[in-house]
Amino acid sequence: MNPKQLKKLKKQVKHARQVITKAPYIEQLEHYAKLFDQVPPVKYLINLVLANDHLIKQGLLPQPVPQMMLPDDIQDTIFQLVNAQYAPGDPAGDRLWDQYTTALPKVDKLLREYRDYLETTYGMWSYPNTKFITELSHYLHGAPVLEIMAGSGYLSKGLRSLNPTQTIIATDDLSWAQVNTTGKQPVTTIENYDALAAINQFANQVEYVIMSWAPDRETIDLAVLNLLRQSYPTLKFLVIGEYQGATNSQAFWQTAKLSQPAALQPVNAALHSFDLIDEQIYLAE
């Protein structure tokens, strides 16, 4: 085997070993929860993720979370905690400080990857936390709803649990599940319709159409907007996504007339961003 081939093989083996030995996301956080047990700002954020993971596994919606990143002054906080526990120059204190400072970048990275974890593990793209779903349910006031492109169905499931008598029709053709297997495990009943077919089928049964996190590389969202404008102008159209960002096509954002009336403000307040993605809810026409 020539040197180049050997070097390439070593790289492949090293990469494979890293993939195999890397602990799963939650397992890593559980480890750091123990390490930072005496550091409240870090422990708090980690425990939120762990608690929400337990809720989702139980079929429940997650709780709201703040910005999922460590405070800028976290090293100063930890320095004060260590100094309060150990005398200056104490080797035990130095070792603990080294443990903390080595782990901090890894914890920060894990917290920033929270949305990625939810997407890849649960097929949860938007963040339908309990407060947001409660406010959205209040806003809808029992009106019949059609959710298109419902994905795994977290939004519809939350609305159904809060108001079992409300008509909530969740639809999705699950075409996106071909590249994300989490879509094959819906959390509530979802009828197999693409977005346009669903609107044509159920328009006379609902007052609202909800579209959450439409893909940014397709224009199905624009087709939905045009269909509603032309054929069903009395239906109210709620859109959840990041304006000219991670969701929806640019053509949609440029074409839709968006508003956030006062009645939607409590709903938006409950959907506050916890990372770099600023998702919001809009009335579109």
Q: What confidence tens digit (pLDDT) does each residue in 214-266 have?
A: 999 999 999 999 999 999 999 999 999 999 999 999 999 999 999 999 999 99
CA dist 195 and 198 (Å) reads 5
Contact status, residue 25 vs residue 33, Cβ threshold 8 Å: no
Whether 173 contacts 201, CB under 8 Å: no
Q: Which pLDDT belongs to residue 14? A: 42
Nearest one of 181, 205, 164 to 193, comparing CA atoms? 205
> Can you give the pLDDT at residue 89?
86
Of 118, 184, 117, 115, the C-alpha closest to 151 is 184
pLDDT at residue 5 in the model: 47
Enumerate residue ranges in the chain where pLDDT < 50. Answer: 1-11, 13-21
Q: Where are the domains of the chain?
A: 3-112, 123-284
Running DSSP on this structure, what letter comes out for residue 170? E
3-state helix, strand, coil in the chain (%, to 5): 55, 10, 35
Topology of domain 123-284 in CATH is Rossmann fold (3.40.50)
In 3-state terms, what secondary structure has residue 78? helix
